[in-house]
Amino acid sequence: MNIIETIIPFIILISVIVFVHEFGHYFYAKKFGVKVTDFSIGFGKKIFGWKDKSGTLWKICIFPLGGYVKFFGDTNPTSFKEKKTKFLKSQEKYILETKKLYQRVIIVAAGPAANFVLAFFIFIFIFMVFGKDFSIPVIKDVRIDGPAYKAGLKINDQIISINNKKINSIAEVSQDIILADDNLIKIKVLRNKNELTFVADANVESSKDNFGNMVNKRMIGIEIAPLNNEFIRNRLSLVDSVYNSANEIWFTVSTTMNYLFKIIKGTENANQLGGPIKIAQISGKVAKNGIAPFLSIMAYISISLGLINLFPIPLLDGGHLLFYFYEFISGKPLSYNKQVFFFKFGMVVVASLMFFATYNDLKSLGFF
């Protein structure tokens, strides 16, 4: 894959997700009378831009790794007006800090919320237009002396459930094995019209994922195929699409949080965390497979961006919300100096996470 085939899908994907996120902030800022001076996609030097009639500068910048909206009166990352900064009485009504607490909360929370809304409608579109996979999974091959073989699973067993969760498609088999809480995998199958249950002790093996990245997976040594080699993909009604879209978002959020808690507890390896390089790599490969896979990865990354921004880390939207929660409890905002201190701490945390994610990306490409 050449660099153009990687970079262009990446820029499109990131730009859409960032635009939606920032537009969430922008929309409610304008609704509550906060003046927006800049709406930027990317960072660094401006490539081109224009001003609208309200005075907002809309611009595209050279580094497409994020974006921001800048509110009138912002002189620091905290959006906290320093005492030395003077504004006319007529100008103060346009400043974020002068708005009611609930309005500031909505403005800040609207960015992550917009990412979830984007993912919600993308999934609905995919389920209604391209359909959802309902292929019935059967075991095509069993590796000799592997965990499944030792447990008693056989070729042509139809997989009904894994760890008491009903299996509705082929993709859910590997997904539920990989994401299991431990290595003991309880599998219910249909064999000669009889339901049988087996427990396989999975191995954790290093292998390539669908995008060629080396990852550690739980594996039980089976190969899956659709029943009678029949792939089933059904278009869903609007109601079913809404339900499945919400379910997909909840699954992604809960799985991500579960994985992060396992990292914190030390029971899971953090080498699966990726950054911009991995996103570019994935988006380029997925784009070659068609619009539906590309939209799917856009939805998943949009969910991830929305979720990460809600983490209570100063510098992120969640950090602002944390400060607003303190203000709600105490009846007064955290002092400017303390906010600046915590934002500097947040910058160190975010920079460290970015460095670690980039290291993982480069390691997966064989640089280390």
Contact 323, 332 (CB under 8 A): no
**Residue 179 Cα to chain centre, angstroms:** 16
* Active-site option among 22, 195, 205, 268: 22
Nearest to 9 by CA among 213, 215, 314, 295: 295
Helices in the chain by DSSP H: which ranges? 3-31, 89-92, 101-129, 147-151, 171-178, 238-265, 276-287, 291-309, 317-330, 336-364
* Amino acid letter for position 56: T
Q: Name the token pair of 273.
A: 């965390």
Q: Is 22 a catalytic residue?
A: yes
Contact 98, 363 (CB under 8 A): no
Give the residue carrying structure tokens 């001076």. 37
**Backbone region of residue 33 per phi and psi (left: phi > 0; alpha: psi in -120 to 50; beta: other values):** left
DSSP state of 53: T
Active site residues: 22
